[in-house]
Each structure stands twice: as structure tokens, then as C-alpha cells.
Amino acid sequence: MKKRLLALLCVLVLLLSAVPAASALEGESRRAAGTLMELGLIDAVPPGEALDAPAARYEASRLLARLGGAPLSELPAGAQYYVVSKGWVTVTSGQKEPIPTGEFCASLLRMLGYEGFTDENAGLFARRVALTSRDYGETLTLGELYQLVRDAMYFPDSEGTALARRLVEQGLCTEERIREFFPEELTARQIADRHMAAAFRLDVYYTKRAFRNDIRSNGGSGFFVTADGLAVTNCHTIEDALYANVSLITGETFPVEEVLFYDADADLALLRVSRTSTDKKTEVPFFSYLELSRQPDLHRGDPVYTLGAPLSLTLAISSGVVSATDHEVQQFGFPCVVNTADISHGSSGGALLNALGHVVGVTSGAYEAGNNLYISVPLTPILEADWEAEGLTLEEVRDQMRSEE
């Protein structure tokens, strides 16, 4: 009897623990729907069961048409004709069937003026360029459709205009309304959603044998600073490298082609990453990248965030505050930023961002005897470097650094 009661109690605990997770998912969808309603993109917030149901193609077309500035007089009956005539939607049959994630991402990307993808790989493309912030399933629920569109509001079109800005220009909502729902200062989640795609894990190989067998000799982190593949990391992560690859949040890997600049004293390096994947199967038109702050106005107590690959595992974010802005560290040639945003071995070369999502430093190390005392080097040498300089191979950099010792 006691065993039976204990088993029933365990089942009850499991059921109760599952409720908050389900409620959280439903709450996220409702919040996204509420935001889109306030922005004039949908008429009302659907009930919970509707948000959990698959989104039909006609519902996706209606939302896409509204995003694209279709007059209200053309909706809802003319939504499909509108998006097809614009060239955004290519599938015209099965309008009541669930919308595949890749198909909707492809339509949204076409609306924003992008090329270089298909309906089949558009989901991966969208994740790589930070249009989407997570991997959705094969098809979208209505709630997921609303979440995807809400989270894409600050994604730029091919000419650099954010989707939210387009809504203002189309007269769908006001500047004040946009600022209300999307404040300038970002939360940790928003930093991760919008900018994690620009960070990468750096896998370094010291020998040809290690490279051929994909046995990593060392690891670090880095981040893109231009769409065509220029990237920043710490100099010490590449000092003995013969080869190096970067791994994106999508799992795709790309080789490091050359080093345009390195400074051992500043512990910084500027790399060029190939846009052709290591398996030669993917040629990307561009990478997601981070904006560098040329004059970071940091003060003690300001919130900061790090993006990198701690322990050379998955890409991760951590948060903290600035402890000091001009700390002298013996091994570095410039005053450093000390902060409390956690990093680990493997985080070297990652990005330190402010609350606006701008890079204000490069994570480089920590005090072994101190709690939460992490060091980031300033960007000054990178900003002053010649980004169009003739590059060196990793082997040439290794040999030069050894000769300078």
C-alpha cells in the first residue's frame, strides 16, 4: 500500500512540474500575439488552443502581407494574391495545410530582399543570419509563427532597414509604439537571440595529423565583424596554429583563410574566414556580424554580456557588470575592462557587449585567485588596424611569433 501511494505521489509531482513549462510556452505565444496585435499586424489574440494548433499557409500569407504593407482593403481575402504577386510566396496550393518552417522563412527572406537560399534550406539560412533565434520544428504552430515574426522585428532587410522601422514607414504603427515594445537597451535573452549567430567556436590544430583526424589541439571563441567574413579573436588562441576552423550556432564549420592583423601584446587578431564550408557543400552569401563600439562609454556597474564557447562546448551567453574600466594588467599593452560576466577556458576571443548589443571588448582571461574577476581587452588595436591588408597564413603567423620570442 505504501509503495502504491509513493508511486501515485511521484506521478502527481511529475504532472505538477510539467504545468509551468506548458504554461510558459503558452504565455510566450500569447505575449508574441499581443505584441503583433498592438503593432496592427493581427486583429486579436487567439485563444490558447488556437495558438497551439498548426499555422495554416493562408494565416502565414495574411501575416506576411500585413508585414509587407498590404492595404487593409486587400485583406484577408486578397492576402494570398498579394504575396504571390510580390514574388514572396511560391507555393499556392494547400492553403489550409500547416506552413513548413523553411517555407515561411523563405517567404519572409524574399520579402526582405535576400537571395541565396531555397525553401528547403531557408530555415538553416535564417538561423545562420539571425532571422530566427532558435530551431523550430518542421512546421510552425500559430504561436510559433507569431513568436518568429515578433523576434525578427529588428532583423534588417537587404538594404539595412529593420523590419520594425518598415512598419513605421508604412504607417502601421508609431515610433513611440516600437520603442515601447522594443526598448533600445536589450535583455540577456535579446542579446542572445539577436547576436549569438555572429559568434563562433574556434577549433585550432597544431599539426597536419591533428587536422586530418579532426583532433582539436586547442580551442577558443571569436565573432564576425563584417558580413564578408572578417572576424576577431585573441592572439593567444592562434599562436601555435597550423589550421583553424570556426563552428557556428547552426553546427556548420568554415576554415580560417588568413590573418590580417595580430598583436601579441594586445592579445588580438583579425581573421578572414572562408564563406565556403569545410565540407565544400555550403557557400554562404554573408555572415551575421557584430557592431564594434568605437568609443565605449563604460562605467562601473554597467551591465555587460559575453558571447563565446566556454570549455569549447556550445555557444553560450553570460551576464555581469563592469567592475573597472581602466585596469592595468601586466601581460597586456592596454588598460583592460574587468567585469563579472562569467567566462571559462575556451571563452578566449569572445565578445563583451554592452546593453545596446555593441562590442566593447574581447574576453581574454581571468584572475585565478579572484571570484568573478574576468578580463577583457579593448578594441583599439583592431579599430586602428588595416582591414584591407595582405593577409598571412596561420603557419606564417606561427613562425613569425616564434621568431619574435
Give dist(CA 382, CA 259) in Å, integer. Answer: 12
* 359 residue type, one letter: V
Ramachandran category for residue 113: left, alpha or beta (phi over 0 → left; psi -120 to 50 → alpha): left
- Quick check: 191 and 308 in contact, CB under 8 A? no
**Bridge partners (DSSP) listed for residue 205:** 243
Write down the pLDDT at residue 5: 46
Write down the pLDDT at residue 389: 93
Q: What are the pLDDT digits (tens) for 123-136?
A: 999 999 999 988 89
- Quick check: 118 and 105 in contact, CB under 8 A? no
Say how many CA atoms lie within 13 Å of 347 toward its Cβ: 23
Write down the pLDDT at residue 2: 47
Give the cell for residue 90. 511560391
DSSP secondary structure string for all residues of 130-168? TSSSS---SB-BHHHHHHHHHHTTT-B-TTS-BHHHHHH
Closest CA to 335 of 303, 380, 368: 380
Give dist(CA 324, CA 150) in Å, integer. Answer: 36
Bond prior to 183 in cis (omega within 30° of 0): no
Give the cell for residue 149. 515574426
The full set of domain ranges for the chain reads 27-182, 185-405
Give dist(CA 336, CA 343) in Å, integer. Answer: 15
Alpha-carbon distances of 171 from 33, 41, 61, 177, 189, rounded to whole Å: 20, 12, 20, 12, 29
Give the cell for residue 32. 508574441
Write down the pLDDT at residue 22: 41
- Quick check: 323 and 340 in contact, CB under 8 A? yes
Give dist(CA 33, CA 240) in Å, integer. Answer: 51
Question: Thinking of the domain 185-405, which architecture would CATH place it in?
Answer: Beta Barrel (2.40)
Give dist(CA 358, CA 341) in Å, integer. Answer: 15
**Hey, is 234 helix, strand or coil?**
coil
Positions in the chain whose pLDDT score sits under 70: 1-26, 72-77, 333, 368-371
**Hey, is 190 helix, strand or coil?**
helix
